[in-house]
Amino acid sequence: MNKWYFSLILVLSSLVISAQSQYNSKKDSDPQAKILLDKLKKQYESYKTMEVKFEMELELPGQGKEIQKGTVIQDGNKYQVKMNDQEIFADGKTVWIYLKKNKEVQITDMDLSESADMMSPKQMMRLYEKGDFAYTIIEERKVGNQQLVDIEFKPLSKKSEYTKMRLTIDKKANKMISLRVFSRDGSRYTLKVSDITANKRYEPGIFAFNPKAVPGVHIEDLRMD
């Protein structure tokens, strides 16, 4: 589930692969791409809360394309994700994953480490700082009133589960448009952001699952204690 959402936190061509193959370290990254990423990260980091409407496309080898639409709300380390078939709640200590089709909720302890899988736009914008990827601008184009820039990320480790990612941003509006993730197993995940609402106030209760709202739900408590 978390890997599915990450895609959470992007078109494949031989030219892109050859342009990236010379990269051996973070120092090889494009300084112009870093300027755009720093500007976008600064804006997202200034938001106290974020509500993001998104569409996720999942493509698995030998299977058809699956599309999910949803929203994610983030307030500090608390978040709520709502999609067609599942909902996720995290209040800073506990995570609830509600599987609608099974009418089941799984409860786990929240992982507050940097390796946690929850990926909001804020987390995605921190990827380029960790030194795990080299990145470069591969295309700039104008679409209507948008000035779109594609930034390609390539993992420096051959052991990475991802072969590359492509982030598309609107340079003029300074906002994320989409993130496409290519996995080594052949699967692809595309996250398209349709709208972002910043600095809205939320009641703490929306970040916890309320079993009374789903009578008869099966609870699977997987917490350590």
Q: 173 falls in which pLDDT band (50, 70, 90)?
A: very high
Q: 127 falls in which pLDDT band (50, 70, 90)?
A: low
Question: Domain span at residue 9?
Answer: 2-221
Cα distance between residue 107 and residue 86, in whole Å? 13
In this structure, what CATH number is given to the domain that contains residue 196? 2.50.20.10
Which of the given ranges, 28-42, 151-165, 175-189, 198-212, has the highest pLDDT on average? Answer: 198-212
Helix (H) or strand (E) holding 40, with range, is helix 31-45
pLDDT for 77-118, tens place per residue? 898 989 888 899 999 899 999 999 999 999 999 876 544 444
Label each residue of 134-168 as H, E or C.
EEEEEEEEEECCEEEEEEEEEECCCCCCEEEEEEE
By CB atoms closer than 10 A (0-12, 13-18, 19+), residue 142 is exposed
pLDDT at residue 154 greater than cutoff 70: yes
The pLDDT value given to residue 112: 64
pLDDT at residue 189 greater than cutoff 70: yes
- The structural domain count of the chain equals 1
User: Per residue in 151-174, is it b (16+ CB within 10 Å) or e — as a string?
Assistant: bbbbbeeeeeebbbbbbbbbbeee
Cα distance between residue 140 and residue 129, in whole Å? 22
Phi-psi region of 178 (alpha: psi -120 to 50; beta: other; left: phi over 0): beta
